């Protein structure tokens, strides 16, 4: 892996001027209001009585997301600590879902309630039943509904992510004032979007090597991962004006959620990341309105700090009074 983006000193100075799309705030206020109004009821939690875990109670969860549609999640609660607990909401990387509940034990082991959110159309437990306007373009999700912000796939997924925070804050084992959003890659971009959209409902954000930031730069620089899907679409449809495509994408760009986010945030970046170019991460970081820190992994690829980053996160949260273990 090679250094394929700007040198670190230039990244610290990289602050591109990217205009927010007209009506951005109203678009998202309407989207979330409609989702909340269409909710089918409170979240449902079914305890897994056959789980092999002995120190964690696991629940199969369904909550109302976009259009009132059911979204799957796992809730993991540590047995050894009393509530109300600080809670972590985890969003998943591109093409992945919530997986198995036994794969997600870090946060409950550290004394947090942990909600692992499935990604509609990516995970196995949550379909994306909304009809996609024809014609459908390039394979993958990056161009699904790209003809308009109203139809774009990430409108539905980002709405699900905010609604996950709504649902978890109502759980009796959770302290609603200590809900943390987290994720890496796509999950990091979703955590950033949720921090910007959910406001005071988010106490902190853990944003690792985030995707969905500075789309134009990502399409121009990334050599691996989802951004090349946009390039392939524009390449294959040579008569398509790219401007409307990027106007749609602007409604889902972390650069426009970041100025609305006020919760403290810990970002991370790998300087040799070919999937989410470091300049896209720095651009979002610089625009983030809340108190923020950035862990730079000089020789990190898209894995960032890998197994070292969770320890960074736990220490960072403890330094802000958000350690696990109950109140």
Over residues 236-264, the pLDDT tens digits come to 886 778 999 999 999 999 999 999 999 99
Whether the pLDDT of residue 177 is over 90: the answer is yes
Among 171, 214, 251, 302, the active-site one is 302
The whole-number pLDDT of residue 129 equals 86
What pLDDT digit, counting tens, does each position of 57-105 carry?
A: 999 999 999 999 999 999 999 998 887 999 999 999 999 999 999 999 9
Q: At what angle do helices 227-236 and 242-250 cross, to 10 degrees?
A: 150
Nearest to 157 by CA among 138, 124, 184, 130: 130
Contacts of 298 (CB under 8 A, 6+ apart): 8, 271
pLDDT at 163 over 60: yes
- Residue 38 φ then ψ, to 5°: -95, 5
Beta strands 56-64; 44-47: pairing state: antiparallel
For residue 266, name the pLDDT band (cuts at 50, 70, 90): very high
Q: Are strands 85-91 and 204-208 parallel, antiparallel or unpaired?
A: unpaired
Distance CA 76, CA 118 (A): 14
- Does the pTM exceed 0.85? yes
- Mean pLDDT across the chain, nearest whole number? 94
Go through 124-160 and write b for each residue having 16 or more CB atoms within 10 A of its CB, e for each that does not: ebbebebebeeeebbebbbbbbbbebebbbbbbbbbb
More confident residue, 168 or 129: 168
pLDDT, residue 4, reads 72
Over range 170-191, report the average pLDDT.
98
Cis status, amide bond into 111, omega within 30 of 0:
no
Q: Is 302 labeled as catalytic in the residue annotation? A: yes
* Active-site residue, 273 included: yes
Which one from 251, 253, 273, 279 is the annotated catalytic residue?
A: 273
> Which single residue is written with the structure tokens 């989802």?
226
Q: What is the pLDDT of residue 136?
A: 58
Task: Give the C-alpha separation, 17 to 283, whole Å.
Answer: 9
Per-residue pLDDT, 172: 95
Q: What is the mean pLDDT of residues 178-187?
A: 98
User: CA of 320: how far to CAs of 148, 179, 229, 289, in Å?
Assistant: 40, 13, 39, 17
143 pLDDT above the threshold of 80: yes
Cβ contacts of 209 within 8 Å, gap of 6 or more: 184, 185, 188, 268, 269, 270, 273, 275, 276, 281, 300, 302, 303, 304
Give me the helices (H) in 130-170, please.
Answer: 153-169
Among the listed residues 108, 185, 268, 279, the single catalytic one is 185
């Amino acid at each position: 892996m090679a250094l394929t983006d700007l040198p670190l000193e230039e990244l610290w100075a990289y602050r591109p001027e990217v205009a927010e799309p007209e009506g951005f705030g109203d678009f998202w206020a309407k989207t979330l209001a409609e989702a909340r109004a269409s909710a089918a009821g409170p979240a449902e939690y079914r305890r897994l009585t056959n789980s092999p875990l002995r120190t964690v109670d696991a629940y199969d969860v369904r909550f109302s997301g976009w259009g009132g549609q059911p979204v799957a999640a796992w809730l993991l609660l540590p047995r050894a600590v009393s509530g109300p607990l600080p809670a972590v909401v985890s969003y998943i990387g591109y093409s992945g879902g919530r997986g198995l509940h036994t794969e997600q034990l870090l946060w409950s082991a550290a004394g947090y309630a942990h909600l692992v959110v499935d990604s509609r159309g990516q995970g196995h437990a949550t379909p994306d039943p909304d009809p996609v306007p024809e014609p459908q373009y390039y394979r993958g999700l990056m161009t699904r509904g790209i003809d308009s912000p109203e139809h774009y796939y990430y409108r539905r997924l980002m709405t699900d992510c905010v609604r996950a925070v709504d649902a978890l804050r109502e759980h009796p084992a959770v302290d609603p004032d200590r809900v943390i959003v987290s994720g890496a890659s796509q999950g990091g971009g979703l955590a950033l979007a949720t921090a910007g959209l959910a406001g005071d409902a988010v106490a902190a954000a853990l944003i690792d090597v985030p995707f969905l930031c500075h789309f134009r730069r990502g399409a121009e620089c990334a050599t691996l991962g989802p951004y090349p899907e946009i390039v392939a679409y524009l390449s294959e449809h040579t008569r398509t004006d790219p401007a409307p495509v990027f106007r749609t994408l602007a409604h889902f760009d972390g650069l426009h959620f970041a100025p609305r986010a006020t919760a403290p945030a810990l970002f991370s970046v790998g300087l040799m990341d070919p999937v989410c170019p470091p300049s896209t991460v720095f651009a979002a970081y610089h625009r983030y309105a809340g108190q923020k820190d950035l862990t730079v992994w000089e020789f990190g690829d898209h894995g960032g700090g890998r197994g070292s980053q969770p320890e960074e996160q736990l220490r960072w949260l403890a330094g802000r009074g958000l350690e696990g273990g109950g109140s």
